[in-house]
């Protein structure tokens, strides 16, 4: 049945229904295993469009969801037979170099922001080096800044400067009644607390975010270094020891099991990242890595932050089918038995697109924020493992799902049971505890205050108390 869209006659963006020729492409997510068919995709141009879409959904008794970059791991940014409030085209940028802040629309990605604030802006630091201002972004160029930051936001600058959500100074949000609210430390502070870590969990639709930025040298030392897979357990040990008790927060290296060349090559183990500081100080920081012996290849050297991040994003393919699972390692769980599981299980991956990433490095500035200061509770864990099964055809689904399910089960004794909410698992039974821990009851109180009718409902939105 066709929807009567006359109530949206003043909508500034575009309205896409199943009867429109671009409907099929409009509903494609990063994870093409998701085949959800909304009744309406409302591509919003501004906060007024967001309010109109919310009111339309309520007036017609339709469920709604919110979509930014379309990267929700379980596909909850679409809703079957409902209204998708799509903010992906809201990409305004207002840069304040003097204040060291940037205000952005929810749909823009971090590479686009970095082009303006880091590559396009320069100043000389007290050390005489040339600097730009960098946002607290992640690796993937197609992830929206809002989805990334509202759920936490790990990235290469996190250990040095903090999470994406820790950089948010102000958020503008449309609530269930269609009202525009401003949340900060001084305005709606309870909502502001909740948005920083649970902002996609059912309080409203964020229409802009203001971030503080970080000074970062225009020239940094970073890149990718890889070793033969036969050396995987040695590399795991070295990586564990590199960060055990480390007090210098400026060396930000992540670990990955992948294939080289990607995706049709042989398994390799690699580290990637950067030294977040003056290049002259990087040699000593990288010494333990270079001491591991001859690698297969290394691109570590002087580069710019933007160039390095652009290269890292090239292997993140939009449009494959996928399933993400993982968790935080317990304090002693990143051990020899875990290394053996990781090495043997990844070797059995049925798809060359799949990978295992240790891309969420805790400690440092992340751990210096109390677990109850924001809704993001995962502050003390040092290592997170993300097992990513990716494949292209339906005929490959069963083998890949079985592989990742069995892999995760074998690794479970080494994990805490907590899960990073930005890698949401739709099948997770006790997701409130896994995502939010002791902060969940307080999140329920905020939900009651700002969405008592549970308009922003998904299978994993905050439940009313």
Where do runs of H (alpha helix) occur along 44-99? 47-59
C-alpha distances out from residue 351 to 216, 332, 390, Å: 37, 30, 7
As given in the structure block, the two tokens for residue 454 are 């549970």
Phi first, then psi: what are they for 311, rounded to 5°?
-65, -45
Place of tokens 């109390």: 370
Cβ atoms within 10 A of the Cβ of 291, count? 8
Give the number of C-alpha atoms closer than 13 A to the C-alpha of residue 86, restricted to the C-beta side: 27
* Cα–Cα distance, 425 to 421 (Å, whole number): 8
How do beta strands 40-43 and 64-67 pair? unpaired
The confidence score (pLDDT) of residue 360 equals: 59
pLDDT of residue 361: 67
Whole-angstrom distance, CA of residue 393 vs CA of residue 397 = 7
Residue 384 Cα to chain centre, angstroms? 13
Q: Could you tell me the residue ranges of all domains in the chain?
A: 13-86, 93-216, 218-423
**CATH class, range 93-216:** alpha beta
CA 458 – CA 139 distance, rounded (Å): 27
Tokens coding 80: 């079957």
Structural domain 218-423, CATH architecture: 3-Layer(aba) Sandwich (3.40)
Cα–Cα distances in Å, from 172 out to 50, 143, 300?
12, 19, 40
pLDDT for 363: 73
Rounding to the nearest 10 degrees, give the CA dihedral for residues 411, 225, 424, 366. Answer: 100
Closest CA to 360 of 339, 380, 338, 340: 380
Each of the 465 residues of the chain gets a pLDDT tens digit; together they read: 799 999 999 999 999 999 999 999 999 999 999 999 999 999 999 999 999 999 999 999 999 999 999 999 889 999 999 999 999 999 999 999 999 999 999 999 999 999 999 999 999 999 999 999 999 999 888 899 999 999 999 999 999 999 999 999 999 999 999 999 999 999 999 999 999 999 999 999 999 999 999 999 999 999 999 999 999 999 999 999 998 888 889 999 999 999 999 999 999 999 999 999 889 999 999 999 999 999 999 999 999 999 999 988 777 788 899 999 999 999 899 999 999 999 999 999 999 999 999 975 667 899 999 999 999 999 998 899 999 999 999 999 999 999 999 999 999 999 999 999 999 999 999 999 999 999 999 999 999 999 999 999 999 999 999
| Helix (H), strand (E) at residue 398 | helix 397-411
Angle at 103 between CA 98 and CA 109, to 5 degrees: 120
Which one is the CATH code of 13-86: 4.10.95.10, 3.40.190.10, 3.30.43.10, 3.40.50.720?
Answer: 3.30.43.10
The predicted pLDDT at position 362 comes to 64
DSSP 96-144: ETTTTEEEE-TT-BHHHHHIIIIIT--EE-TTS-EEEEE----S-TTSB
Q: How far is CA 340 from CA 233, 238, 337, 351, 463, in A?
A: 7, 15, 5, 20, 39
Pair type for strands 384-391 and 64-67: unpaired
């Amino acid at each position: 049945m066709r929807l009567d869209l006359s109530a949206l006659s003043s909508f500034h963006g575009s309205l896409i229904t199943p009867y429109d020729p671009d409907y099929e492409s409009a509903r494609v997510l990063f994870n093409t295993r998701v085949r959800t068919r909304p009744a309406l995709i409302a591509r919003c141009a501004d906060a007024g469009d967001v309010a109109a879409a919310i009111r339309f959904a309520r007036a017609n008794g339709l469920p709604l969801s919110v979509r930014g970059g379309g990267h929700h791991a379980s596909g909850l940014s679409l809703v079957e037979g409902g209204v998708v409030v799509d903010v992906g085209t809201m990409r305004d940028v207002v840069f304040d170099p003097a204040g060291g802040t940037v205000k952005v629309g929810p749909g823009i990605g971090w590479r686009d922001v970095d082009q303006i604030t880091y590559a396009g802006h320069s100043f000389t630091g007290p050390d005489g080096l040339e600097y730009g201002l960098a946002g607290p972004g992640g690796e993937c160029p197609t992830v929206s800044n809002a989805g990334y930051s509202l759920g936490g936001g790990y990235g290469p600058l996190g250990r040095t400067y903090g999470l994406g959500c820790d950089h948010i100074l102000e958020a503008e949000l449309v609530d269930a009644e269609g009202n525009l609210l401003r949340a900060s430390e001084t305005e709606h502070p309870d909502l502001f607390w909740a948005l920083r870590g649970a902002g996609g969990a059912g309080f409203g639709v964020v229409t802009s975010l203001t971030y503080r930025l970080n000074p970062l040298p225009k020239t940094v030392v970073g890149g990718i270094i890889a070793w033969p897979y036969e050396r995987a357990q040695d590399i795991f040990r070295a990586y564990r020891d590199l960060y055990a008790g480390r007090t210098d927060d400026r060396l930000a290296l992540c670990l990955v099991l992948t294939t080289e060349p990607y995706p049709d090559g042989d398994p390799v183990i690699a580290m990637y990242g950067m030294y977040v500081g003056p290049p002259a100080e990087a040699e000593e920081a990288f010494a333990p890595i270079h001491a591991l012996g001859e690698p297969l290849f290394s691109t570590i050297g002087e580069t710019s932050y933007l160039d390095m991040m652009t290269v890292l994003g090239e292997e993140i393919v939009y449009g494959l089918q996928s399933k993400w699972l993982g968790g935080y390692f317990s304090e002693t769980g990143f051990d020899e038995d875990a290394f053996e599981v990781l090495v043997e299980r990844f070797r059995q991956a049925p798809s060359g697109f799949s990978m295992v990433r240790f891309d969420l490095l805790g400690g440092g500035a992340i751990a210096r924020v109390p677990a109850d200061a924001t809704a993001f509770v995962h502050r003390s864990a040092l290592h997170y493992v993300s097992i990513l099964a990716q494949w292209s055809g339906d005929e490959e689904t069963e083998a890949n799902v079985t592989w990742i399910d069995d892999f995760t089960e074998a690794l479970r004794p080494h994990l805490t049971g907590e899960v990073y909410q930005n890698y949401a698992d739709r099948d997770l039974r006790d997701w409130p505890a896994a995502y939010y821990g002791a902060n969940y009851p307080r999140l329920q109180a905020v939900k009651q205050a700002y969405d008592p009718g549970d308009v922003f409902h998904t299978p994993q939105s905050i439940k009313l108390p």
